[in-house]
Amino acid sequence: MVVLCSLTACVESNRTSVPDGAAGDAIERSARRPNLLVIVVDDLGYSDLGAFGGGDIETPVLDRLANDGVRLASFYTAPTCSPTRAALLTGTDPHIAGLGNMAELLADNQRGKPGHEGYLNERVVSVATLLREAGYFTAMTGKWHLGVQRQHGPAAHGFTRSFALLDGGAGHFDDTGLMAATPVAQYREDGEPAAWPGGRYSSDFYTDRMIAYLRENAGRKPFFAYLAFSAAHWPLQAPDALMRKYQGRYDEGWDVLRDGRRAGLRRAGFVEREVPFVAPPEYRPWTTLDPGQQRVEARKMEIYAAMVDSVDQNLGRLMEELERSGELRDTVIVFMSDNGAEGTPLEKSPLFGDWIARFDNSLDNMGRAGSYVFYGPNWAHATTAPGRHYKSHVAEGGIHAPAFLWRAGPAGQGAIARTPVTVMDIAPTLLELAGVAHPGSREGRAIAPLRGRSLGPLFEQPTARIHPVDAGFGVELFGRRAMREGDWKALLEPPPFGSGRWELYDLAQDPGEARDLAAQQPELLQRLVGRWREWAEEVGVVLPEGQSGY
């Protein structure tokens, strides 16, 4: 394999701006600024990949990249998708960028407040915009979820080419919307309304379109490609052949899967010893289900596994294309999930009303177009354990996500970086690799500074510390709150997922957040709560009044 230039060399040789056009193209390619590929998978469980302790789902492409790169053992996101994506593309907190809450779930008292617009606001600039202005070809396909109006879509935020699902999810074979309030999903191509190509499976189509966009560029410019799969977001759907591949694989149930995944995490080096874990409130042992219920539940996990398998196969096609074109050796890859696994029993949610009843969710039709199922809290618990809870929560199961960095050459080689990092660190990483400075203002308006830091040092030294040891990482969504400092974490979640008061955990000894130390360490807890309040004021948190979230 060809070794890329070192991070420092790449940056120092590309400090000046590059003109657009043919002459600029020649300068860019000769300078070998790296291609940048960001891959986001939706609602991936922490141990779904073999490289992260799994093995029941076949992910050879991702496992090879992860094991040849640097796996991020302490990578943190927001609890749900759109806040994470806002932080990813801007390098700042979602409460600053406009996604302090999901647009669909804004509380009445949050509407109209700065940082809660429901789309990327005027206080930020996307990394795609900055890279395009610096001479990069920019392309995105897949889930956007950062605003549905033309002026809020990917074409307005720096992407030269794009085919985007504007909503939080959709059917994977058609344009079925997420719920009765949005029965038809919305798409845009290059800023204009677009239709879903009937019958195409989402992961196949988004990959096809990304490959087509990269072929248009044909190596003339370095590229920034953002491939945001809508899999494995609900509704769970997958091609028949892949579902047959996993038939019977989960018949032993979620308890067996959970224990196998926890053992896999230890073998992979993510967990050093057996640690306690906390099951979610809806948990029930597999043996309490009758045979019919077991078959239905096992089917859901088969579909989910097929969806993740499809992502891996499609990434294999993309890697083959990059290798064929000679671009892979000059490409840096960032891979991540946007949050923890989705475990909320959404079929019981008032958000859906009678929406689910409109679909054929018989055992024979589950996973096909025209079905609409979720895999629920018990499978989610199995894929996040020992992490506590799952997506939408500020406990580890909701915000501790799988992620890795890859580039050609000997760097990484299966290392595990254990330093705490966040999704806000990705934009600074991309900008540093490209030698692009973040602006303090644009067109007379102030731009919020980057809150993240480049992950570049981890390529050379996976043991490097990215943030100061006493850095504080604040989180809030739906009124659920957390602050991490070093190995300590304070969190507050209402019942039944928490006590309704601030709790305290030592993540070094208790990554499953099973032992609340608030009573033993009251002064430490109060200091962390104070840091959370300072952070909340700094970024503009507006706590929702009344019920919020799902």
Q: Which residues are catalytic?
A: 81, 145
Token code pair at residue 522: 């009251």
Peptide bond into 382 cis (omega under 30): no
First to last CA, the chain: 47
Q: How far apart are CA 225 and CA 213, in angstroms?
A: 9
Is residue 490 within 8 A of residue 483, CB to CB? The reply is yes
Is residue 517 within 8 A of residue 505, CB to CB? The reply is yes
- CA-closest candidate to residue 79, choices 488, 423, 542, 527: 423
- CA-closest candidate to residue 254, choices 276, 230, 282: 282
DSSP states of 432-478? HHHT-PPPSEETTEE-PPP-S---THHHH-TT--SS-TT-EEEEEET
Q: List the beta strands (DSSP E) in 318-456.
A: 331-337, 403-407, 415-417, 421-422, 441-442, 445-446
Peptide bond into 114 cis (omega under 30): no
